[in-house]
Amino acid sequence: MKNLPSEQVAGVYHRKLGDVLVTGLSDGYVDLGYGIFRNMQEPEIKDVLLREHRISPPRISVNAFALRFGGRTYLIDCGSADIMGPTCGRLPANLAAAGIDPAAVDGVLLTHIHPDHSNGLTDATSGTRLFPNAEVIVHENEIDHWFDDEEMERAPERQRRRYFEAGRIQLKPYMAADRVRTFKSGSVLPGVTAIPISGHTPGHTAYVISSGDQSMIVWGDTVHVPEIQVAAPHVTMQFDVDPEAAAKARQMIFDMVVTDDLLIGGMHLHFPGFGYMRREGGKYAVAAEQWAFEI
């Protein structure tokens, strides 16, 4: 047959949360090897992924979320641009499909400064801010860590280049324009509360969005591979700065989500990234929220 499509439609999904329009935005996905896990071996990982009918080695979705309320537009994370390979960097096209002009974005809240979350801030070649009217809102520990020359010097070459140097390239144009706002915890925007969950990175942060009687949590990188880490929260990743703290933070967030029955927005849950969590027999599971045509 001729003229069959070769690509999917835009990776955009809208969901109302009280008076807030929350939009899941796909930046794409990345296929990584089995070596990304610190404390689970390849045969066990393969068994889990086979049982769950998932691609092996793991395929990791990369998502961002837009919040629109009160005539203002905010992003939580902003994608990877060209740093994660050809299957990522789709956020600009999906912003356009969602009707979001980068110049109309009032703020970018970062869960942390890893490249798949922050590399869409700035054109690395020209130094141009891609969200020219936005402030960047980020935990103060992220700035302290990734701009620490001694920490950068101690890092392996690949981490130094992809994390420290790339993060500085992305943030410096906003710093120069006095467009970076840091926080420790608590309210960062009306109806948006920052929950520090250090471990994955020193300033890794989840955001709870509340409107009326509805709430959800955008939990950042609490989970990278849901098929593995939801059932086994102790499993940590090679790119966790403090693996023990990351595992404790994951357990804390899981308990919070189940206790408060919160809707989840996950940067690495399979697109569109919304779901709920349940706990049965001492184990956790995530149920993807059902698709709806009407917003």
Query: Model confidence at 134, in pLDDT bands (50, 70, 90)?
Result: very high
**CB of 12 within 8 A of CB of 97?**
yes
Mean pLDDT of 75-102: 97
Q: What is the model's pLDDT at position 53?
A: 82
Q: What sections of 16-114 are H helices per DSSP?
A: 42-51, 91-97
| Burial class of residue 210 (count of CB atoms within 10 Å of its CB; 0-12, 13-18, 19+) | middle
- Decide if pLDDT at 197 tops 80: yes
Q: What is the model's pLDDT at position 164?
A: 98
CATH number of 12-288: 3.60.15.10
Question: What one-letter code names the amino acid at 56?
Answer: S
Q: In the chain, where are the structural domains located? A: 12-288
- Decide if pLDDT at 8 tops 80: yes
Look up the pTM and report it: 0.96
| Short-list 100, 99, 91, 86, CA closest to 134 | 100
| Short-list 87, 89, 94, 82, CA closest to 29 | 87
Q: What is the residue-averaged pLDDT of the chain?
A: 96
Q: What is the pLDDT of residues 61-84, one digit of tens each?
A: 999 999 999 999 999 999 999 999
Q: What is the model's pLDDT at position 54?
A: 87
